[in-house]
Amino acid sequence: MKEIELFLVRHQESRGNRARIIQGQVKGRLSPKGHNNASRIASFLAGLGSFDALYSSDQRRAIQTARPIKEKLGMDYVHRTPLLRERSFGKLEEKPYSAVLTQTGAGEPVNAQLRRFSVDANQAPFREMDVEWLSGIEQRAAQFVTHLLSQPHQRVIVVGHYLMNNYLLNHLLHQEIGNQGYPQAHNEIYRVIIDKKGNVKHWEKLTAK
């Protein structure tokens, strides 16, 4: 049975990351550091050989990360898809983390608030702010994996977002994201080997240097 070697890349530092604002599904742009790091990621991946396909979220910060990968690998195009978008945070988008955490987690340590904000946003008061339900991002992750398994690709790069990449990995591992998830720094890549039935044979983190 043929296997798929999947490389999950997080978009590189955006201006929103740098300003510590909630981005969700706003388009966003990479910061100068993000552009430099995208080139470094591209060089790292180019050193791993050839690839059959390159997928990206259709959000600008992901596309800007995917573009140098496409160029350095000599690939024809980037498959852009809304399935890989980051979770929508509704009315919270483009607000600073500090303002939102003051509203939703008074008295909690900042790290605890950030974790609860990222993982547990089905709960009030997040629902009142039109935050996408967890089931929404889970369904999009599942739909993308189903599409991927239907293709003839054997080595694939996927450029996504922090939470979306977590949900893709959790879907493949048949696990719930829980309170910890799989923290992915901008320079880290998930390498996942799956068979054509979607069973994970191996996964690991790679660090682009």
Has residue 21 got a pLDDT over 80? yes
Over range 115-133, report the average pLDDT. Answer: 64
Over range 85-95, report the average pLDDT. Answer: 88
102 CA to centre of own chain: 26
Any idea which residue has 């996964």 for tokens?
A: 203
Q: Which two tokens stand for residue 204?
A: 């690991």
Q: Assign 3-class secondary structure to the chain.
A: CCEEEEEEEECCCEHHHHHCECCCCCCCCECHHHHHHHHHHHHHHHCCCCCCEEEEECCHHHHHHHHHHHHHHCCCCCEEEHHHCCCCCHHHCCCEHHHHHHHHCCCCCHHHHHHHHHHCCCCCCCHHHCCCCHHHHHHHHHHHHHHHHCCCCCEEEEEECHHHHHHHHHHHHCCCCCCCCCCCCCCEEEEEEEECCCCEEEEEEEECC
Taking only the tens place, the pLDDT of each residue in 143-155 is 999 999 999 999 9
Give the pLDDT score at 179: 47
Over range 33-61, report the average pLDDT. Answer: 97
Give the pLDDT score at 140: 96
Has residue 190 got a pLDDT over 80? yes
Q: In what order do the strands lie in the sheet with 53-57?
A: 79-81, 53-57, 155-160, 3-10, 188-195, 200-207
Give the pLDDT score at 110: 46
The percent of residues in the chain predicted with pLDDT above 90, rounded, is: 57
Give the pLDDT score at 206: 94
Highest average pLDDT, of 53-62, 81-90, 120-129, 161-170, comes from 53-62
The percent of residues in the chain predicted with pLDDT above 70, rounded, is: 81
Has residue 103 got a pLDDT over 70? no
81 or 116: which leads in pLDDT: 81
Q: Identify the band that residue 118 occupies on the pLDDT scale cut at 50, 70 and 90.
A: low
Give the pLDDT score at 195: 94
Burial (CB < 10 A; 0-12, 13-18, 19+), residue 57, is buried
Over range 17-44, report the average pLDDT. Answer: 93
